[in-house]
Structure 1
Amino acid sequence: MDWTPLILSAKLAIWTMLLIPILASPMASLLAFGRFKGKSLLDAVVTLPMVMPPTVLGFALLVVMGPRGYLGGLWEDVTGNRLVFSFTGILLASLVFNLPFAVQPLRASLEKLDPRLLESAAVLGLSPLSTFFRIVLPNCMGGLAAASILVFAHSLGEFGVILMVGGSIPGQTQVASVAIFEAVEALRFDDAFRMSAALIPVCFAVLLIINKINARRA
């Protein structure tokens, strides 16, 4: 059996886990502490990938990231390569798809932060950026770690979005979920079973880690 799809899934999950805090932390902080017009609209836009059918989200990303799309055309002009049907493309799709799964728990963690800490930071004259890095971020590391690990597990099982944006190119975009689907279609049940059996204990271990983190936070 070819283990390349599992390795590619692990690579995608690791990169998503490492990059998602960069996107999720400021967004969660803005939604938790911000007071501005249009906050509900921004919240709905950020949460939308969580409730949309993955194939619908994947098609929307395919249009935007395709050669005729704004993002895809800009990427091709700068790099000379297509964004869709590439690892970079499925990584970007994974970040968009997983953003709400990181923002929601992180936002909940931020909203539990003692407001007196923020008041003290304001009295001491810290800027909002300094307050975020010196007060907010250190006090929500548990929530950030749990969100990142959850995103890692969620990325391993992505199917619809990845298939729409990346297709099934062996060694480039054929992740484990797509390979399992194709193995079942081809009646290669042994291959599908082996790949599925390899994913289950990893996901179970991730859930145990998240439960440990939540228990410590509690």
Structure 2
Amino acid sequence: MYNLTPLFLSYALALITSLLLLFLCLPLAYFLSFSSSRKTILLESLCTLPLLLPPTVLGFYLLLLFSPHNFLGGTLQKWGIHLAFSFPGLVIGSMIYSFPFMLQPLKQGFDAIPRRLVEVAMTLGKSPWTIFRKVLLPLLKGPLLKGLAMTFAHTLGEFGVVLMIGGSIEGRTKVASIAIYEEVQKMNYGAAHFYSLLLVLTGLIILGFLYYWTPKEEFKDKAHGFKKS
């Protein structure tokens, strides 16, 4: 019988990361899309930077940051919070590395919304919160699903960041991607196949869910754009 704990940890990590990033990136994407300041270019570049960094580089610097020998890690340790080689540390590392995968679909969704709708709602005396909740959010179904699916899948398959920050502690930080690597090192290909096939199946389910629930209007708009070009 194969150990299912690495799979449970992977799914828990992906789910927690996706939900936290959704609540964090939704207002940020709104701000980046609707702000007229040129300073948002720098902010968006910083948020997208994890796409260009090797996972081990990001994991290395986060590990140093979480170390009790540094200011942040030492301060947190005094409060009884240990991020290095812990599941909460994996969550923070995964959030930083997967940040662009949630932010970019949401920002593109906000960018595609006609500003005229917002202007009309404002002339009717609607508050910014009401406009956001009743006008903008219903139009973000596709981008929301894309962001959640991409973030979940990306976190599920992450290896470098989680290995650098969490190591391979059984029952705490040993996720499925690390378990696959270790089983291959042991030449235990049966277990490696087991974990790998379940991750592949999960990826297929996510893609099927994404393509099924994405509004068909998006595909029509894309096809119309191809015809014009």
Checking the alignment, whether the CA contact within 8 Å between 1:23 and 1:99 is kept in structure 2 is no
Determine the C-alpha separation between the residues in 1 that align with 2:72 and 2:109.
33
Tell me whether 1:56 sits opposite 2:57 in the alignment: yes
Q: 1:134 to 1:178 in 2, by over 3 A?
A: same
Using the TM superposition, give the Cα deviation of residue 139 of structure 1 relative to its aligned residue in structure 2, in angstroms. 2.0
CA separation of 1:67 and 1:201: change in aligned 2, threshold 3 A = same
Shift of the alpha carbon at 1:75? 2.6
CA deviations over 1:36-61 (Å, ceiling 9, x no partner): 14211111100001111011111121
Gaps of 5+ in 1: none
Larger mean CA deviation between 167-176 and 16-25 belongs to 16-25
Deviation at 1:105, TM superposition (A): 1.0
Q: Tell me which residue corresponds to 2:122.
A: 122
- Residue 72 of structure 1 and its aligned partner are, at CA, apart by 2.5
Q: Which whole-Å CA distance do the structure 2 matches of 1:142 and 1:10 have between them?
A: 22
Deviations 1:153-203 (A, max 9, x none): 111101001111111101000000011111111211111111101111110
* Residues 37 and 69 of structure 1: CA distance in aligned 2, closer, same or farther (over 3 Å): farther
| Offset of residue 67 of structure 1 | 1.6
Is residue 68 of structure 1 aligned with residue 66 of structure 2?
A: no
Superposed CA RMSD: 1.6
Corresponding letter in the other structure for 1:110: F
Distance 2:196 2:144 in 1: 28
Aligned to 1:203: 203
Residues 145 and 214, structure 2, Cα contact 8 Å, conserved in 1? no
Residue of structure 1 in register with 2:146 after alignment:
146
Matches within 5 A, 1:33-44: 33-44=34-45
Offset at residue 130 of structure 1 (A): 4.0
- What is the one-letter code of the residue matched to 2:206? V
Match of 2:11 in 1: 10
Question: Helix, strand or coil: the match of 2:174?
Answer: coil
**1:63-212 alignment, distance < 5 Å:** 63-78=64-79, 80-212=80-212
For residues 53-81 of structure 1, give each alpha carbon's deviation from its aligned partner in whole angstroms, at most 9, with x where no partner exists.
Answer: 01111112112222234443333233x13
Counterparts of 2:163 and 2:71, CA distance in 1: 21
Which letter does structure 1 place at the counterpart of 2:46?
V
Cα offset, 1:24, TM superposition? 1.1
Which amino acid counterpart does residue 149 of structure 1 have in structure 2?
A
- How many residue pairs end up in the alignment? 217
Distance 1:161 1:19 in 2: 18
Deviations 1:101-141 (A, max 9, x none): 01111111111112111112332344444432332223213
Query: 1:14 Cα shift?
Result: 1.2
Which consecutive residues of structure 2, in runs of 5 or more, have no partner in the other structure?
219-229
Q: Which secondary structure state, in structure 1, belongs to the residue aligned with residue 22 of structure 2? A: helix
Q: TM-score, normalised by structure 2?
A: 0.88
- Superposed CA offset, 1:15-54 (max 9, x none): 1122111111112112211111421111110000111101
Runs of 4+ in 1 over 6 A off after TM superposition: none
Moved more, 61-70 or 126-135: 126-135
| Distance across 1 between alignment mates of 2:214 and 2:110 | 14
